Structure 1
Amino acid sequence: MADFTVSTEFLAKLAKDLKGCGDELDQGLKALKEASRSGLGYDFLDEACGHFQSKWEYGLKKVRECVKVLDDGLEKVQQSYDGTEQSITKVLTPAGQS
């Protein structure tokens, strides 16, 4: 039989950390949007900065989408493990004891 344990507390912390990661990405994207990408003195630099900002924004959007999917999945896994653990505890507890 496999010997492993699942820490639902760790899963909850991981989900919380992922939400925090998403929040930090949102803050970075907001700061990037607020940053001026023109006025560097050279047209090629202004264009390069604009291109970078567009690519960065797209990449951050994709990362946020992945974080959301992971967060949703972790929440379901945590609920399943918690439910299973409670059910097992209930079944293995002798009648009359709580």
Structure 2
Amino acid sequence: MATGTFTVDLDWLDQFCNQLTSSTCSLEAALSALKETGPIRTGHDDLDKACLTFHDRWDDGLDMMNKSISAMSEKVRICVRDYRRTETTLTSAYPASGPSVPGTTQSAAPTYPHITTALG
């Protein structure tokens, strides 16, 4: 029989999704700044061509990355939603203070820590 604790930090997962979205915004901002680079600013046509080539490749890669991050964030958010629903269901089904077991001080209803803390 397995023993131990399975922990799910829902707030951390929410922050993780937000950071993923934020990272793609930062990369898009850097890409936009690169697009503004040109011979007027750098003074050299070869540098302008290199920046344009790099921009096009980065744009393609960034598009693929945005799609992957969006799909991953959506799946993580679904998991968070489902964990929260499970937590609510368990909390409702097994209230923290239920009737006690006859002859003991133990509650008949198990006390479950919030899923955000642990699943035991």
Measured against the shorter chain, the TM-score band is 0.7 to 0.9
Assess if the C-alpha contact under 8 Å between 2:39 and 2:45 holds in 1: no
User: 1:56 corresponds to which residue?
Assistant: 58
**Is there any run of 5+ residues in structure 2 with no aligned partner, and where?**
100-120
Tell me how far apart the structure 1 counterparts of residues 80 and 39 of structure 2 sit (CA, whole Å). 43
Number of positions where the alignment pairs a residue of Structure 1 with one of Structure 2: 93
% identical aligned pairs: 26
TM-score (ref. length: structure 1): 0.78
**Is there any run of 5+ residues in structure 1 with no aligned partner, and where?**
none
TM-score (ref. length: structure 2): 0.66
Alignment of 1:6-85 (within 5 A): 6-36=8-38, 39-42=43-46, 45-85=47-87
* CA drift at 1:49: 3.3
* CA drift at 1:51: 2.1
* Structure 1 consecutive aligned stretches of length 4 or more whose deviation exceeds 4 Å: none
User: Which structure has more helix as a fraction of its residues?
Assistant: 1
Mark the structure with the bigger radius of gyration. Answer: 2
